[in-house]
Structure 1
Amino acid sequence: MSTTKTVDGRSAETSALITPGRRTRRVRRPGRRSTTFIVAPLSFIAIAVVLFALFFVWPGALGLWYSFTDYTGVGTPEFIGADNYVELAQDPDFYAVLGRTFLYTVLSVPLHFIAALGIAVLLTSTLAKGKSVARIIFFLPWLISPIVAGVIWKWLFGENFGMVNFLIEAFGGNGLNWETDPTLALLLILVVSTWGGTAFNMLLFIAAIRNIPQSYLEAAQLDGANGWQRFYRIVLPLLRPTSFMVILLTTIGSMKEFAMVQALNGGGPGTSNMFMVQYIYRTGFERADVGYASAASMVLMVILIIIAIIQLRFDKRNDLA
């Protein structure tokens, strides 16, 4: 009988006699496989990490450093400590701009929420017709640049050349002061921002509504609940995670509104509708006071972080309840 040699020199027959009925255990050598599990994910996220560090972390660190200097955009910045923050705390213009920004946010967030949720409910209704065309129409504004949207609406609501005032005067009325009346200017900003920002939130609500089990709604209908009761008692509570996300994103976006307002009316008339980012832009680029503008941007960042933490705590407390 011929015997074959194994790696360690023993014959196969001898090995079978020594370890009868036992399974040979393959020893895993650590190194190659564990390294693969580490390197592969890092290779996928490497580009995102580099871009995030290059365009977010580095500018943020640079802005934090500039906020403690007297940098004007040229030359070498000189460290002045917390003088910019002290001056900012005593600046009445800063508080006025911050108040207008909060006012705009308080008015804008409910409008965005109601418009997005209402359109999403209509587009997911079984009774609605032409839903595919309606989705395209409602989604188009989100594809338009905020600057382009501001210019378009400025043409429509111009006091001297706008189409809206032309139609009002054609029917015997008097044109409205869309550019020189602070209240009308703020109202126009709210309309344009809601028009442009509804589409994304609408998609979030549509996806969330479609994930609601139809058995819940059918059972409620069999129990005699009407459409409003089904929406208020079943749909709306199940949309709470999506609603929280929409409110959080809309709040942060409203606090940082800039491009559309800058193209629409420049924060006017005068500075009556100038928001925080416009204040930072004018201070840093028009007044060439980059250090002071950086301090204002750091304050805005802290405010946004506080708002996000409060909303997260509130949402977590509701989940525990």
Structure 2
Amino acid sequence: MVQESQAAAAPAPAARRRRLRRPGQTLAPLLFISVAVVLFAVFFVGPGSLGLYYSFTEYTGVGDPEFIGLANYEKLFGDDQFYASIARTVLYTALAVPFGYCVALGIALLLTSAATRFRSAARVIFFVPWLISPIVTGVIWRWMFGENFGLINYVLTVVNLPRQQWETNGNLALTVVILAGAWAGTAFAMLLFIAALRNIPKSYLEAAEIDGASGPQRFFRITLPLLRPTSFMVILLGTLGAMKEFAMVQALNGGGPGTQNMFIVQYIYQTGFQRAQIGYASAVSMVLMVILIVIALIQMRFDRREDLA
């Protein structure tokens, strides 16, 4: 019995030695994490904390901030322009995200199909818009859809069709913004879908084809359910990006005509930088941040429930 207990206790020091880590093995992960922590603190926590402080002040960018408590928030929730910009932003998000999702998934399906030729060249062509600055994207589409000098209206006149009011009609202007956003943002989602489609086992699709499943049935019963994690990521990032859209819209139509297509970030920009109401704009920014956090949590909770089901 004594020998057995000694034999059992013998590996303990060796196991303890194996559990001991060298200083470099602990220092390297901390070093890499520290870079992300510093960047997060400098570019998010710091500005966020400053914006939260300004939201309780009447700060104009000049002089010392004057603390006014919740006055900015009380003014905010009675501001009709704030509600209008939120409503237009939500409408844009509700239209742009599904449209961009369908376009990206459709292009990914084409580029992963064996029947498609010149797939490598097509990937490069579809990826180029994502490399262009949002401001440049807005300028390009403004030239294309200008009422007096735009390419689209010129083509319409050539084929004897009436010119469209792309800039003075609020709904048409919003349509142009949706098209421009999909054109610029499709590439990233397309790459995610291409990677996900390649990871789907071909045996699943081949077995379904042998069982007599048609192409649409294979897509909706096999391909689309297996793309759920990627779809969740695309929809989440697309929603957050659409809610924060600014540069492309500012260059395209400036939120026009008038303020009909003013999104929430444009409202923050005009309030803070053009009217010099930094405190009030900071309050709007805090409300927007809460809205984005709530949207992300709801989508994550919904995706988690589907996984449990």
Letter in 2 for 1:102: V
The change in CA–CA distance for 1:31 and 1:238 in structure 2 (over 3 A counts) is closer
Instruction: Report the Cα offset of residue 117 of structure 1.
Output: 0.6
Residue number in structure 2 paired with 1:188: 176
Q: 1:219 to 1:68 in 2, by over 3 A?
A: same
Report the alpha carbon displacement of residue 34 of structure 1 after superposing the two structures with TM: 5.0
Which of residues 150, 157, 167 in structure 1 aligns to 2:138? 150
| Pair 1:222 & 2:210 matched | yes
SS in 2 for 1:153: helix
**Which residue is equivalent to 1:117?**
105
Q: 1:42-65: CA deviations, max 9, x gaps? A: 112322221221111100111011
1:304 aligned partner = 292
The separation in 1 between residues aligned to 2:158 and 2:119, in whole angstroms, is 35
The Cα offsets for residues 8-33 of structure 1, whole Å up to 9 and x where unpaired, read as xxxxxxxxxxxxxx989669779983
1:278 aligns with 2:266: yes
Change over 3 Å in CA distance of 1:103–1:27 after alignment to 2: closer
Summarize the Cα distance change of 1:26–1:125 in structure 2 as closer, same or farther, 3 Å threshold. Answer: closer
1:240 paired to 2:228: yes
Alignment size in residue pairs: 301
Distance 1:99 1:159 in 2: 26
Runs of 4+, deviation exceeding 4 Å: 22-32
**Counterpart of 1:316?**
304
**Aligned-partner SS, 2:157:** helix
Matched, 1:163 2:159: no
Residue pairs, 1:1-321, within 5 angstroms = 33-321=21-309
Deviation at 1:314, TM superposition (A): 0.8
Structure 1: stretches of 5+ with no match in the other structure? 1-21
Instruction: State the alpha-carbon separation in 2 of the partners of residues 26 and 308 from structure 1.
Output: 47
> Which residue identity does 1:57 align to in structure 2?
V
Which amino acid in the other structure matches residue 246 of structure 1?
V
Q: 1:271 to 1:261 in 2, by over 3 A?
A: same
Paired AA for residue 124 in structure 1? T
Q: Which amino acid aligns with 1:100?
A: R
**Partner SS state of residue 33, structure 1:** coil
Task: Look up the equivalent residue of 2:276 and give its one-letter code.
Answer: A
1:165 positional shift: 1.2
1:46–1:160 distance in 2 versus 1, CA, 3 Å? same
Which protein is richer in helix relative to its size? 2
Q: Percent sequence identity over matched residues?
A: 65
RMSD across aligned C-alpha pairs, in angstroms? Answer: 2.0
Aligned-pair CA distance for 1:198: 0.6
Offset at 1:170? 2.3
Structure of greater Rg:
1
Structure 2 Cα separation of the partners of residues 34 and 193 of structure 1: 50
* Cα offsets for 1:51-95 (capped at 9, x unmatched): 221111100111011001111111110111111000001111111
Superposition deviation, residue 154 in structure 1 = 0.6
Deviation at 1:320, TM superposition (A): 1.1
Take 1:31 and 1:204, find their aligned partners in 2: how far apart are those partners?
39
Measure, in 1, the Cα distance between the counterparts of 2:149 and 2:10: 89
3-state SS, counterpart of residue 177 of structure 1: coil
User: CA, structure 1 residues 58+224, in 2 after alignment: closer, same or farther (shift >3 Å)?
Assistant: same
- Return the alpha-carbon distance in structure 2 between the equivalents of residues 184 and 66 of structure 1: 37
